[in-house]
Homo-oligomer: A and B are copies of this chain.
Amino acid sequence: MSGQAAEDRSPRAERAARAALTRVLEPGDEQGGRWLREFGAVEVMRRLRCPRSDERALPGARESRLEGYRARAAVADPEADLAAMTAAGGRFVVPGDAEWPRQLEDLGDARPIGLWLRGRPNLRIWALRSVALVGARACTSYGAHMATTMAAGLAERGWVVVSGAAYGVDGSAHRGALAVGGATAAVLACGVDCVYPRGHGGLLRRIAEQGLIIGELPPGAHPTPSRFVLRNRVIAALTRGTVVVEARYRSGSLVTARAAQRLGRLAMGVPGPATSGLSGGVHELLRGEASLVTDAAEVVELVGDMGELAPPRTGPVLARDLLTPDAARVLEALPGRGTVTAEETALRAGTGIDEVICRLYELHSLGFVERQGDEWQLALVQDDCGQRTGNPRRGGP
């Protein structure tokens, strides 16, 4: 162990220390968040690993909890975790990275230490036009139907469907988006390399190929009840609003919806029969401040409006020539007039279909392209002279 003065505090060292801390601290630990803000990740790890009691002060935590953290810190091997994630085609993003979604700052000291990711899309851009769709694991066929069709409708309108990959409503939501070649992201309560629930191995693989798998926990970490609950705040914070499809009283989905409300996002609920216990929680939510929605168009009307009312959240305008080369190539592959399928665009751009879908959604988030049913086209925008042009109407960060 080296002294404080000799510590490597480069961005690379900070990233590694944050990776280590995802293995040490539990998600949403606000005490840990304050340490990170005050001392930086490298210094927090140094103190947790320091054998000298006069150099390892970390204020506010019980000694018993610190003992547990020190034991975890002693065995953490962030370089190995980062290497394993990279080898598996994944990555680790931290606050300050270009891909870090700014919405998570709304969580304050409970914001994730970092996010482990699998999948090609840029999380920050996807999060700009995303909606959470969550609900009961043991849903009815009505709940599964509503989740599937609503997710498909949202995806068709260019929205990213975020959920938790659980059985029931979550799985239906992901599948609904995938079924129409749409964008979907799963936020897990375990390592992003884990298959949980067991029966969703195929689904998680498809999401990783066509969308994004997101998690606060390091590779191999198991889910626990509290991790499920704390995972919900990430779903709520990432998205513009949370739709609950079937939930009993005191269901975890209601936690997500209420977290969304506290964060200034929109909470929405899909009504069901008053005789169904699985709609009881949703109806309770709807008696509060939540909005009643029955299809994707109604969701978009609500979250779209909210986006328009809050343009500062999207940051400064991104000009066309600041696009990444990959995104620019896909944009150039679109015809000046008319629509085209993702397959055709892939042929024209000379790239893979999953890559193209991922870039098309990025371009959609930034206002460059629009989706028409199964096909895509350049965004048609009224410019200052009243002419319809293919220029982007809206910019992104």
**Residue positions of A touching B, CB distance < 8 A:** 142, 145-146, 270-275, 279-280, 283, 286-287, 291-292, 294-295, 298
Q: Are A292 and B271 in contact (CB under 8 A)?
A: yes
Copies in the complex: 2
Nearest CB in chain B to that of A288: its residue: B292
Q: A141 to chain B: closest CB distance in Å?
A: 11
Nearest CB in chain B to that of A285: its residue: B292
Q: A371 to chain B: closest CB distance in Å?
A: 23
Q: Which chain B positions have C-beta within 8 A of A273?
A: 142, 271-273
- Rounded to whole angstroms, the CA-CA distance of A363 and B172 in the bound complex is 54
- Rounded to whole angstroms, the CA-CA distance of A291 and B292 in the bound complex is 11
Q: Which chain B positions have C-beta within 8 A of A283?
A: 271, 292, 294
Q: Are B275 and A142 in contact (CB under 8 A)?
A: yes
14 of the cross-chain contacts (CB-CB < 8 Å) are: A142-B275, A146-B275, A270-B274, A271-B286, A271-B292, A272-B272, A272-B273, A272-B274, A273-B273, A274-B294, A280-B294, A283-B292, A283-B294, A286-B292
Q: A249 to chain B: closest CB distance in Å?
A: 12
Q: Which chain B positions have C-beta within 8 A of A280?
A: 294
Which of A271, A283, A286, A291 gathers the greatest number of chain B CB atoms within 10 Å? A271
List 7 other contacts, CB 8 Å, given A272-B274, A283-B292, A292-B292: A142-B273, A142-B275, A146-B274, A146-B275, A271-B271, A274-B294, A283-B294
- Rounded to whole angstroms, the CA-CA distance of A294 and B287 in the bound complex is 10
Nearest CB in chain B to that of A294: its residue: B274
